[in-house]
Amino acid sequence: MASPSASISCRSSPLVSPHALLREAEEPRKRSHFPPSRRSVLSLLPRSHACRVGVSSSLRRRDLSKTIHASVTDVSVDRAKEEVQLPKGETWSVHKFGGTCVGNSQRIKNVANIIMNDDSERKLVVVSAMSKVTDMMFDLIIKAQSRDDTYVFALDNVLEKHRSTALDLLEGSDLATFLSQLDGDINNLKAMLRAIYIAGHATESFTDFVVGHGELWSAQLLSFVIKKNGVDCKWMDTREVLIVCPTNSNQVDPDFPESERRLEKWYSQNPSKTIIATGFIASTPYNIPTTLKRDGSDFSAAIMGALLRAGQVTIWTDVDGVYSADPRKVGEAVILKTLSYQEAWEMSYFGANVLHPRTIIPVMRYDIPIVIRNIFNLSAPGTKICRPSVSEDEDSHKLESYVKGFATIDNLALVNVEGTGMAGVPGTASAIFGAVKDVGANVIMISQASSEHSVCFAVPEKEVEAVAEALQSRFRQALHAGRLSKVQVIPNCSILAAVGQKMASTPGVSATLFNALAKANINVRAIAQGCSEYNITVVVMRDDCIRALRAVHSRFYLSRTTIAMGIIGPGLIGSTLLEQLKDQAAVLKEEFNIDLRVMGITGSGSMLLSEAGIDLSKWKELLKEQGEVADLEKFVQHVHGNGFIPNTVLVDCTADSVVASHYYNWLRRGIHVITPNKKANSGPLDQYLQLRALQRQSYTHYFYEATVGAGLPIVSTLRGLLETGDKILRIEGIFSGTLSYIFNNFIGKRSFSEVVAEAKQAGYTEPDPRDDLSGTDVQRKVIILARESGLKLELSDIPVDNLVPEPLRTSASAEEFMEKLPQFDQEWTTKLEEAEAAGKVLRYVGVVDLLKHRGAVEQRTYKKDHPFAQLSGTDNIIAFTTTRYREQPLIVRGPGAGAQVTAGGIFSDILRLASYLGAPS
């Protein structure tokens, strides 16, 4: 029991006066090491520290033999207090609640309920200041030292926030006690802020003392609420317990032995099974208030957990746990059930919102698990950070078990120091990083080639100019002499880190990572991988960062392969494709993990753009209502510029040569192209060769199956034969569904013009049938197959048997042509009769003769038992004669015209692309 003299000493211990504060504030340099002036130290101590020093001082001033008359009862009580030992071990459960968790009176009640429902035998709860209060306290300091008079009103806002919260939560003597303490603290802060205002300067210790009040008030409020519910509870000012030593890097190192001694002493005087402790704040070895800096409350909880050897430390926040990637960047990110200490450490370092790396150190020493939980979703189990068990190591054999998560750091620059004079020269790296240290820059990542020819490292972009200047200055002579060739700065970079236990020693992980980046057309600027096997770090350009993150996450977590699509040409083929996409979208998502998002649709006059994906059930209405003037470059930029989707494909459903002329540049930009448009592959030979060379050199895909046989697998069959080593001798086929229909129905007594009119009426021909009868379409298909087979031919090298009568080729309109076509029926009737007399049929075919290095389009006759004579409707048929299929050609047959089958062929190419990009096949 404290003696009367002690109580008097406590009450009479004077607060520092504004004049004393002013004198200290005016001498920041002299006070940088906090000289042990008792008056200045006392002014910054928690009240209990001041009391103890005051008591000891008064005792020293007395003649103990004359003034101490303690009874036997007093001595026994003091000894009993000293004998209360601090129990340690798994009976303790440590909780930490951040500012959001205690942001208002209702949330404080929720926290109290969580604590009371925890069935642990003993609980220590670390709390932050109420939401925004720490910022408000820092704002007080800024205003005061800027001599801004409004600091007074800002302090009143702080007072009102806590007063109103107390009135909501407390009543009676508890309310009176808290408000009295609050008013006293506010008055002391007014005096201190006034001193800062006069001096125009606040020392670090003053600042730490002021901003730490938020934790003091929230801890007291929570302890009163718990006691109000009948639970014995004490609150702890952790400045009395936690002792830390400031370092030169704006961090602090806990003094565990001293903190443990002080905790035991505090507990002997305040034994309780529920303790509410202040987060963020602590004291120096000189008993001067300080803070634990960034993420200090988490650090407080970890330190207390280590001191108590607790069974678990639970960090309560506003998310369900630790995500496999930032959910704001990767919508498919998943909550991780477990993380090892090292994995959490790595992810924290690389920017993931997990824990500060130093938070993990204290608990890791004693294998104390940390659980991250959501206070607003108590049903979520959260993420457990602990040492992995042996069974987990044995059972984890999937790629996603080795790669736990991905994190990114933006706004970086790469610095590359390069030169032949670096190789084998001791001290070069030391000189480089010594120069970096001298300007105070933080090196995020280092990569050095084994040849020692170059060293590159990443630094924050805001520091790179100073780093470059320092290196230029340090190595001026070496640069001038040519021993160093350059100090290069690559701005606008980001780091992507893949983190996982033992992933670097697992075959296939690195290959999968870089393969996913390559398929998303992401260029890697630098790579670093430590021997610790916990992370692989790559540097990419900032504009590629989100696409890179989504690409690798999708590959490892089997989340949906998402493709941003732009549809060019919503005519008959394009609109049919959109209808097929709409009907199949749900099935592709649920069963095949393929998410095809149409981000834009453009015609020749108007276009429709969307940020999240167009609703395909009403795209026509949206195009009319929200469409804007068509601009192909803007369209492409919009579809490809969506950084949240790693893969982009443009589907050209037109027959426009201008659109086709853009394919090369699109592929160079990493945009995949799918098309039934024949213009690119049948255009000038040099352009075709450039297009194919670019396709082979990159991971960008160019698919055009529908250019030859609509939905028939003609191009893929040809490639399969060539890739397996077969030699193509001849390709012959009926490539036009329109002309196939005309010649299949030009039989008996029917006239040629009658059949053409019927085909036009049925929609099988182009609006002007001469486009079909001229043979140009078949000519383009023949040149495509010839080039695919290896022949270097121009379109003009393919002779064409034009079925349009010479006099009608210059007819002014399709109507005029159809009107005059019957004049030439007799010529066709004669051909038909001659063929039938010989037991043959008329057919219009395209031929690629590899032995003669030529191609041709012509009207021929075939015996009635020939496969080409067995067709019906608009069927196409193609025969491949090869060294393997010499005696009996390989036949591909099926519908070769119509919007449904052509759109189906395009759709098939889209799904093939998705498979190449990582979707399950």
Report, as residue numbers or ranges, the catalytic residues: 781
Query: How far, in Å, CA of 527 to CA of 446, rounded?
Result: 9
Query: How far, in Å, CA of 555 to CA of 535, rounded?
Result: 17
Query: Which whole-number Å values give the CA distances from 74 to 271, 472, 552, in the listed order?
Result: 19, 74, 70
Q: Are 369 and 312 in contact (CB under 8 A)?
A: yes
Which amino acid is present at 276?
A: I
Query: Which whole-number Å values give the CA distances from 546 to 107, 492, 556, 649, 698, in the listed order?
Result: 35, 13, 16, 17, 20
Query: How far, in Å, CA of 604 to CA of 567, rounded?
Result: 12
Q: Which tokens in the block code for residue 188?
A: 């002391």
Residue closest to 236 by CA, chosen among 44, 84, 94, 79: 94
Q: What are phi and psi of 863, to 5 degrees?
A: -65, 155
Query: How far, in Å, CA of 211 to CA of 280, rounded?
Result: 10
Tell how far CA 507 is from the center of its chain: 25
Tell how far CA 717 is from the center of its chain: 39
* DSSP-based three-state secondary structure for 596: strand
Residue closest to 573 by CA, chosen among 901, 842, 351, 884: 901
Query: How far, in Å, CA of 243 to CA of 486, rounded?
Result: 48
Provide CB contacts within 8 A for 332, sequence distance 6+: 553, 554, 557, 559, 560
Query: Which whole-number Å values give the CA distances from 217 to 165, 179, 185, 186, 681, in the listed order?
Result: 11, 10, 10, 11, 75
Taking the CA atoms of residue 649, residue 653, residue 655 and residue 658 in that order, the dihedral angle to the nearest 10 degrees is -40
Q: What are phi and psi of 87, to 5 degrees?
A: -75, 140
The maximal CA–CA distance of the chain, rounded, in angstroms, is 146
Instruction: Annotate 705-747 with three-state secondary structure.
Output: CHHHHCCCCHHHHHHHHHHCCCCEEEEEEECCHHHHHHHHHCC
Beta bridge partner(s), residue 335: 323
Q: Fill in the DSSP letter of residue 387.
A: P
Q: Which tokens in the block code for residue 139?
A: 């704002």
Give 14-17's long-range contacts (Cβ < 8 A, gap of 24+). Answer: 15/43, 15/188, 15/191, 16/40, 16/42, 16/43, 16/44, 16/191, 16/192, 17/191
- Helices vs. strands in the chain: H and E counts, helices first: 39, 30
Q: Fill in the DSSP letter of residue 17.
A: P
* DSSP-based three-state secondary structure for 447: strand
Which region holds residue 274: left if phi is over 0, alpha if psi is between -120 and 50, else beta?
beta
Which region holds residue 37: left if phi is over 0, alpha if psi is between -120 and 50, else beta?
beta
CB atoms within 10 A of CB 494: 23
Query: How far, in Å, CA of 189 to CA of 16, rounded?
Result: 11
Q: What are phi and psi of 584, to 5 degrees?
A: -100, -5
State which H helix or E strand residue 903 sits in: helix 899-916
